[in-house]
Amino acid sequence: MLHFLIIAPLLFSIFTPILYQNIKRIHTGWMVLLIPISIFVYLLSYLPKIVDHPFHLTFNWLPSLGINYDLYVDGLSILFGLLISGIGSLVVLYSIFYLHKTEKLGHFYTYLLIFMTAMLGIVFSDNVFVFYVFWELTSLSSFLLIGFWNYREKSRYGALKSMLITVLGGLAMFAGFVWMSILTDTSSIREMIENSELITNSPYFIAILILILTGAFTKSAQFPFHIWLPDAMEAPTPVSAYLHSATMVKAGIYLVARLSLIFAGTDEFFIIVSSIGLLTLCWGSYMAVKQTDLKGILAYSTISQLGMIMAMLGFGTGVAVFAAIFHILNHATFKGSLFMVAGIVDHETGTRDIRRLGGLYTLMPITATLAIFGVFSMAGVPLPIFNGFLSKEMFFDATVDLSEEAGTIYQSIGPFIPFIALLGSIFTFVYSMILFFKTFTGKIQLDKLERKPHDPPFGMLLSPIVLVTLIVVIALFPGPFNHYLLTPATSAVMGEVSQTHIKFWHGFYNLPLFMSLTVLVVGIILFLTREKWVRVYNRIPGSWSMNKGYDYILDGLIKGSKLVTTSYMTGSLKNYVRMIIGFMTVVGLYTFIKTDGWAFTFNGATLSIPEIAIAVTMMIAAISVLFISNRIAGILVLGVVGYGLSLLFVFYSAPDLALTQLIVETVTVSLFLLAFYHLPKLKEEKESKTNNFINLVISVSFGIFITLVGLSSHSSKWFDSISSYFVETSYTLGGGNNIVNVILVDMRGLDTMFEISVLGVAALGILALINYKKKGDVE
């Protein structure tokens, strides 16, 4: 059943265009809404079972390769599954009111449903290769959704960028998967976890780890791969809310959490994941303050929050993992609602620029209230009605506890981590305040807005209201969420059952609360004085940015490959011939020397004087062709070579050859002479000395190569020629005395047949060429 449910959105996506085309009266979204809701309800029914008993389902796909559509249902996958289907339902509901019926809704919902399948597939897959298939499907559908308004230049740029970066990471991850499955001889994640020491003890462990983490970091927009996320904000807002805050960007988080049982506990994992996570946390929150676009702020905020979750997964302690899982849930709720609020503001005012916004509180009271909850939850304001506060508190708790962990690496780095976390959280607080107060308070600038804003229709508000309700409910009653969702998920990541209670209140004398208060105080001060220190952005990052690096690399790749291609694809026949012949000579001579082909033995054949005379004549003739500039002389000298060849055939007892060569040479020469009148004069062409020299070197070395091969081939003879067979059976089987002719028409008659066809085709070709006239030619 679950197998079917995962691909249900994909199957339904086939019908969306049909529904869109045929049922014009109803917004297509209403029909789509059914799918995520039913998945959500079905997954809820798993919840009670899953608490203690994870289970797996299997469905044969490619059993001969050991690749099966295996599903694994445990706390972690259920948590993500519920997020995907739950927020998916809300986003579809929101998009019904956000997107007008004139948009290409058929496309939109098709892409969205493909994405939903891909995402569900990722979180439930047990097989790494199936996982990878769904992983790339998310990249693809995200690409389609970002470029939904494909008539905009920026949408296309953002879509391409996200595609390139996430696919780059996906391929790296795939390499890591292949490596892991070779080491453990299985492609099932569960079995890999059981044999995890095979991976951690292998000498390639670091390479595998980096490859897998590259996949996770690109998908989850970790530093320095975060650059695609702000550009992905060109997507319609429901898409941003769904893909780029709640679900897709958490795929990397999911990957790290899922494979924690293999990697966690090693120093490398701790160092890479924690440091990248913390760096992303600080950089994202720092850069968010600089943004002026609502969605830009939210994008950088997502980056920073994902960094925070990633860092906690990197810590790998019980409380840290629990906090990470908790924050995944919380972030999905408040970030989803904030995106929807940003979409509403955009929808009602026509702009998302905070420099033009302000004072919307009086005009849009409901929206503003919703925003308060989201923003304060994101900032971690120490009030127990915001779930973000609870998970942030746990984050601080985890960082403080880190130095008490066993292991030198924890003890040496641990003490610094709370300060980094503090720094990131302060900036988080500042941008959250900017986000709210610049939009909803202050003076309203009606003249800069496109229309007079007011609260949107209730349907549009419904989804954010649900999410905000969740924010408060999770904060006030964390117990059931903890029991059914968070604890099973943590157990799935840690591999052991752990019970953590979410406390509203830690009591007065504890460090995390003190840290939260520090964030509050310093954050408020920084927010109020931001005009004074905002100049710091001119210094860091200043003119230097990751985006420029990306553009530079992309530009460089295009320019570089153009340069390379034009350097050898000159369009000049001469250069190609040079390359072909030169390459043949180099490879041939190298092989010749490498295999020691120098041993020449001369046996049997001695040259008589007439033979030598003919050979010398031919040499002279051939060389003189090079220098002749008179065409008739050229043709005749060429004839000398041919007739010389037929004379040689006479000497070497080849009467048929001599005959044919004689005739063919005669015909060729007469053909040349026939065409002589029409042919161009062999004018002396001016060639530069170096060109001539290169030509000479290439041709001489090729000649030497041929000579050497000819000479050395006589020196080694491994088996007798089969010619004695022809000699013996020519009369008895073929019934002829002329052995060559018997070979041609009897023993190897097929060659002759096709040789005849070659002649025929040549004749037809010549005929066609002569008769061919360009259009408009008059004769």
Partner 1 sequence: MSILSGILFTCGVYLLLQKRLMKVIFGTVLLSHGAHLFILTMGGLRSGAPPILKDGVTTYTDPLPQALILTSIVISFGITSFLLVLAYKAYKTNGTDNLEELRGTDNE
Give 200-211 as a DSSP string.
Answer: HTSTTHHHHHHH
- Nearest to partner 1 of 524, 706 (CB atom): 706
Contact between 619 and partner 1 by CB under 8 A: the answer reads yes
Residue type, 548: K
**Nearer to partner 1 (CB atom), residue 7 or residue 711:** 711
First to last CA, the chain: 77
Q: Which residue has the tokens 């049922």?
A: 23
CB of 778 to partner 1, least distance (A): 14
Q: Which stretch binds partner 1 (CB under 8 A): 435-443, 454-462, 464-472, 748-756?
A: 748-756
Minimum CB–partner distance for residue 651 and partner 1 (Å):
9
- Only one of the segments 188-196, 354-362, 556-564, 616-624 lies at the binding site for partner 1 (rule: CB under 8 A); that segment is 616-624
Dihedral sign for Cα atoms in the order 726, 729, 735, 737: positive
Q: Which of residues 574-593 bind partner 1 (CB under 8 A)?
A: 574, 577-578, 581
Q: Does 265 bind partner 1 (CB under 8 A)?
A: no
Which among 286, 278, 338, 266 is positioned nearest to 306, based on CA atoms?
Answer: 278
Nearer to partner 1, 51 or 620 (CB): 620
Interface of this chain with partner 1, residues 461 to 500, rule: CB under 8 A: none
Maximum C-alpha span of the chain: 116
> Minimal distance in Å, beta carbon 737 to partner 1?
4
Nearer to partner 1, 160 or 615 (CB): 615
Q: Which amino acid is residue 763, in one-letter code? A: A
Pairwise CA distance, residues 510 & 533, whole Å: 32
Collect all residues with Cβ–Cβ distance below 8 Å to 269 and sequence separation of at least 6.
209, 263, 314, 316
613 binds partner 1 (CB under 8 A): no
The two three-digit tokens of residue 148, written as one number: 């939904």
Among residues 355 and 714, whose Cβ is nearest to partner 1? 714
Q: Which residue number, 408 or 724, has a Cβ lying nearer to partner 1?
A: 724
Find the binding residues for partner 1 in span 639-698 (CB under 8 A): 641-642, 645, 648-649, 652-657, 660-661, 664, 667-668, 671-672, 675, 678-680, 682-683, 685, 687, 695-696, 698
> Rounded to whole angstroms, how far apart are CA atoms 182 and 180?
5
Cα angle vertex 166, ends 165, 168, to 5°?
Answer: 65
List the one residue from 714, 718, 719, 776 that touches partner 1 (CB under 8 A). 714
**C-alpha span between 569 and 563 (Å, rounded):** 10
Contact positions with partner 1 (CB under 8 A) in 75-94: none
Smallest separation (angstroms) from partner 1 to the CB of 725: 10
Residue 539 or 773: which CB sits closer to partner 1?
773
List binders of partner 1 among 194-223 (CB under 8 A).
none
DSSP track, 8-39: HHHHHHHHHHHHHHH--SS-HHHHHHHHHHHH
In 485-572, alpha helices (H): 487-494, 511-528, 530-533, 536-539, 546-568
Q: Which is nearer to partner 1, 202 or 699 (CB)?
A: 699
Q: Is 636 in the site for partner 1 (CB under 8 A)?
A: no
Query: How many residues in the shown chain lie near partner 1 by CB under 8 A?
Result: 89
Residue 315, burial from CB neighbour count under 10 angstroms (0-12, 13-18, 19+): buried
- Is residue 737 close enough to count as binding partner 1 by CB under 8 A? yes
User: Per CB under 8 A, which region of 311-319, 452-460, 487-495, 757-765 contacts partner 1?
Assistant: 757-765
DSSP 503: P
CB atoms within 10 A of CB 193: 16
Q: What is the DSSP string of 678-737?
A: TSPP-PPPP--HHHHHHHHHHHHHHHHHHHHHHHHHHH---S--THHHHHHHHHHTT--S
**Secondary structure E strands in 352-485:** none
- Prior bond of 17 cis (ω within 30°): no
Residue 634 engages partner 1 in binding (rule: CB under 8 A):
yes
Query: CA-CA distance, 192 to 551, in Å (whole number)?
Result: 39
Does 740 participate in binding partner 1 (rule CB under 8 A)? Answer: yes
| Binding residues for partner 1 restricted to 545-574, rule: CB under 8 A | 570-574
CA distance 303 to 326: 17
Binding status of residue 721 toward partner 1 by CB under 8 A: yes
Return the number of the residue (100 or 678) whose C-beta is nearest partner 1.
Answer: 678
Q: Which of residues 507-546 bind partner 1 (CB under 8 A)?
A: none
Single out the residue of 406, 540, 605, 609 in contact with partner 1 (rule: CB under 8 A).
Answer: 605
**CB of residue 560 vs partner 1: minimum separation in angstroms?**
19
| Stretch of 73-81, 107-115, 547-555, 732-740 lying at the interface with partner 1 (CB under 8 A) | 732-740
Least separation in angstroms between residue 238's CB and partner 1 is 42
Closer to partner 1 at the Cβ: 511 or 620? 620
Could you tell me which of 338, 273, 337, 330 has the C-alpha nearest to residue 486?
Answer: 330
Q: Return the number of the residue (200 or 695) whose C-beta is nearest partner 1.
A: 695
Closest approach of Cβ 593 to partner 1, in Å? Answer: 17
Answer yes or no whether residue 366 interacts with partner 1 by CB under 8 A: no
- Choice between 21 and 630, CB closer to partner 1: 630
Cβ neighbors of 34 (< 8 A, separation 6 or more) are: none
Nearer to partner 1, 66 or 749 (CB): 749
Tokens standing for 243? Answer: 């893909």
723 belongs to the binding site for partner 1 (CB under 8 A): yes
User: What are phi and psi for residue 293, nearest 5 degrees?
Assistant: -95, 135
Dihedral pair phi/psi, residue 499, rounded to 5°: -110, 120
102 vs 572, beta carbon nearer partner 1: 572
Peptide bond into 54 cis (omega under 30): no
Q: Which of 476, 626, 633, 733 binds partner 1 (CB under 8 A)?
A: 626
Which span (161-169, 244-252, 500-508, 634-642) binds partner 1, by CB under 8 A? Answer: 634-642
Q: How far is the CB of 745 from partner 1 (least distance, A)?
A: 10
Q: What is the DSSP letter of 746?
A: I
Whether residue 339 contacts residue 262, with contact meaning beta carbons closer than 8 Å, is answered with no
* Nearer to partner 1 (CB atom), residue 182 or residue 612: 612
Q: Which of 594, 398, 650 is nearest to 512 (CA)?
A: 398
CB of 199 closer than 8 Å to CB of 205: yes
Q: How far is the CB of 598 from partner 1 (least distance, A)?
A: 14
Q: Enumerate residues 6+ apart whose C-beta is below 8 A from 65.
A: none
Stretch that binds partner 1, among 26-34, 242-250, 381-389, 707-715 (CB under 8 A): 707-715
When asked if residue 710 is in the footprint of partner 1 (CB under 8 A), the reply is: yes
Shortest Å distance, C-beta 604 to partner 1 = 5
Residue 120, burial from CB neighbour count under 10 angstroms (0-12, 13-18, 19+): buried
**Which is nearer to partner 1, 534 or 761 (by Cβ)?**
761
Nearer to partner 1, 26 or 763 (CB): 763
Give me the sign of the Cα torsion angle 375, 377, 378, 383.
positive
